[in-house]
Structure 1
Amino acid sequence: MTEMLYWQALNRALDEEMAQDGNVFLLGEDVGLYSGTYRVSEGLLAKYGEWRVRDTPISENSFTGLGVGAAMLGLRPVVEIMTINFALLALDALINMAAKIPFMSGGQFAMGLTVRMPGGVAKQLGAQHSQRLEHTLMNVPGLRILVPATPQDAYWQLRQAIRSDDPIIVLEHELLYFHKGEVATNATPLPIHAAVVRRPGRDLTCIAYSRMVEVALAAAEELAREGIEMEVIDLRSLSPIDWEPCIQSVGRTHRALVLEEDCRFAGAGAEIAATLQERCFYFLDHPIQRTAGLDLPTPFAAELEAATIPNVERTCRSARDLVQMSGAPV
């Protein structure tokens, strides 16, 4: 086990995959000389040269499209879009090309394309730089979406994505880059899309992803002091979703809370809640509850920004309400 920051785990994954496979190359704005938005490509230009670490113009649709073409020819491009907010400019390449070419070609063209995107609400970046677009990407058949919440998952899921023949989006929360955790580089990795139980519990199930896993775990600690044991599941993937651990957990606890940073209306949590309601209806003591971001553009002011996204206090309140409404002792 080696202790690493989240960005260091991603950097290590890129380095090891580039060392093992000469077809892996990086492209994006400032991935070379500047070492990437959050230092993720630090040192790779000096080690692998300009041919494999390519700085691009500010033209997301163009360089993402270049990555699509390279993947069609058997290379393994890793595209960094500086922030998920700029991915809106690359949706033609992602949705019309990367997601559909393998299907439309009858499998004649693989699409070993990995696209990394920092995103989420960070600290006072304003409405246009604080978006969560997982709901947009989840609605596209053919794209796979990873949401690593720990350095361990950041390391292994990125390596697995690069080796895949499918187009994979890796959503990295901007507030996780400088979080530290243990990384086992020689371990057998979990399946790329497997969900995991981060904390066992008996009273209710909290299903979260990305930075909200950290919020859920902190809330679970606080609730435990009150005698409420909340099980926390980290989805790790939004497309596909590994439903079985969620179903098994809800079958034990009989209550489910979906926690997400994205806006509540038509977000990822809506799909999670709808599918679980269908599959777990006879297990449930109460309808599935959702705690999510507010349905408005993210304010710039720090206090207002913080008020628009779930925190530990809101999560605890939702959990208490769910346990009490379903008639369980507290």
Structure 2
Amino acid sequence: MSDGILKEIHQATGGDWGGTKVDLAFEHFLCEITGEGVMDSFKNKAMEDYLDLMRCFEVKKREIKATSDRQVSLKIPVALIDQTKDLTDITVREKIQCTKYKNHVELAGDKIRLDPDIMKGFFTESLESIVSHLEDLFRLPQLQECQTILMVGGYSESSILQERIRACFREKNVIIPADAGLAVLKGAVIFGHNPSLIAERICKFTYGTRASHEMKNSCTHRKTKTFFAEGKEFCEDIFDVHVRAGDVVKVGEWQEEKLYFPIYPTQTSVTFIIYCTKDRSPDLVTDSGCVLLGEVELPMPDTTGGVDRKASASFRFGGTELEVQVYDKSAGTERNISLSFLG
């Protein structure tokens, strides 16, 4: 924004397409060239060797380039070679010759050498998913003016990822800060010292409370359970929405309050149970995808007003937490609950 403060124009999105996806592809390759059950046994019996292998792969993962034509060499732990022979009665070298990799992978001593195309192939699913998702995002009306891609996180240090992003989005300005892997951590520290740096966010979830209301002929909640109180039939487990997924919320400002009433005239408290869901228009809190966040009880000991007593609830979004305030309009008492997004 013009004053240097940030606002979100689209909610955070994504999937499991990061560096760990590449790691999983490499592990799948190892399973193919060692045999069924060997990798599980190796991790159980020689975890330190497994971690050394993955650290070595991490270095190669960041070094490999899209234009590279050199073999990639990795040191294979002796324990993995031995367990392959013990569990399958066949050596790793012999196993490779029985797979699709026989002309592209070779084992020499404790070193395995991969053709560059095999190494690059570990990135395929991750790269295609990221590029496809970005293409979908840039088609959205609110992102039409976006001209910059900022790459952060450890995977952003991968040359092959950087090259693919630059190649697929030539019209965009791609920025990769020094120590991209630390950028997220540094940003979190800066934000912790000054949460007001972000003025507006887009809700990723729909937030609301569990409520009940009187059954009517036009009621859309007939699939829910009902109960009788004071001679009237009520629907229960209604998801009463306060903020919907995709709505813009100003950080630190209270959302519009909603009113609630006791069901019983002698009721001395009202319990507000808070839920969230990815669904923009949820029906019931018992629907699939609804998550219980917490609850807050509001004492209402003065029963003079019966069922006409008013209670209210309003939500406020901070940088890393949701605050819910409930208020007894008659007595002037209130209760608050803070729900952390970091847990």
Higher strand fraction (1 or 2): 2
TM-score, normalised by the number of residues in structure 2: 0.29
Select the structure that is richer in helix.
Answer: 1
TM norm structure 1:
0.30
